[in-house]
Amino acid sequence: MLKVLDLFSGVGGFSLGLERTGGFKTVAFCEIEPYCRSVLAKHWPGIPCYGDIRTLTANQLRSDGIAVDVICGGFPCQDISSAGKRAGINGSRSQLWSEFARLIGELRPSFVIVENVAALLRRGMDRVLADLAHLGYDAEWECLQASDFGAPHRRKRIIIVAYPQRDQKSWAEPRHWPFRRMGGFIQSIPWDSDWQSALTFFRGMDDGIPHIVDRTDAMRNSIIPQIPELIGHAILNARKPSQETT
């Protein structure tokens, strides 16, 4: 099982999708919003949830007995989104990418999965890729949208998968990754996009009263679980050749 640190966790869309593959287990969350933390505590009881990424360090995780193989997360998009002020990745919220990058450097995970709005391509993608390269990571990326997975809305997002730079004989060969043939790969996904069950998992039944604003905001900010599930399967498939030869 690959051990996951889920940053900017929200209500756990990344962890739900990755754990559905059967090959990932979340060992820690980092989420500052109280309502989202309560949702994580309900669905992942006993899993540590740190509050502020700015104070979270590798030393703290190690002292708590937490080892990490994968770091995932969607850092704040408010300054990047076309619906916002468009300040870019150096804006007051989206600059938290620098803390994401710091933890990558401190923890040196085998995989990094980053999510943000598609406008990142114009307002910060160069910074993200440069930071990853400086840390010694190669990256692949693709824009996916919720409608690709059967949802009734577009919700276009950029997904970046990064891994330590290695020689050409490593597992990280283009043939392992779906991004260059995404359309056909999505059509071959062996699981159903059950949108109602995913909504119920995060939001509970539609009783119309408790935490309705918090619920709506949490769902709007969450990644759809089907995307990290797709990425998780790609990572597991990419690892098979090296595992079989050892």
Q: Which residues are catalytic?
A: 77
Which of 14, 36, 34 minimizes the C-alpha distance to 25? Answer: 14
Alpha helix stretches (DSSP H) within the chain: 13-20, 34-43, 58-63, 97-107, 125-134, 182-187, 195-203, 212-221, 226-244
Closest CA to 101 of 32, 156, 59, 54: 54
Distance (Å, rounded) from C-alpha 210 to C-alpha 221? 19
Contact 132, 111 (CB under 8 A): no
Compute the half-sphere exposure of residue 29: CA atoms within 13 Å on the CB side of its CA: 28
Q: Name residue 204's amino acid.
A: G
Secondary structure letter of residue 166 according to DSSP: -
Q: Which of 118, 101, 117 is nearest to 162 (CA)?
A: 101
Under 8 Å between Cβ of 104 and 110:
no
Q: Which residue has the tokens 């962890």?
A: 15
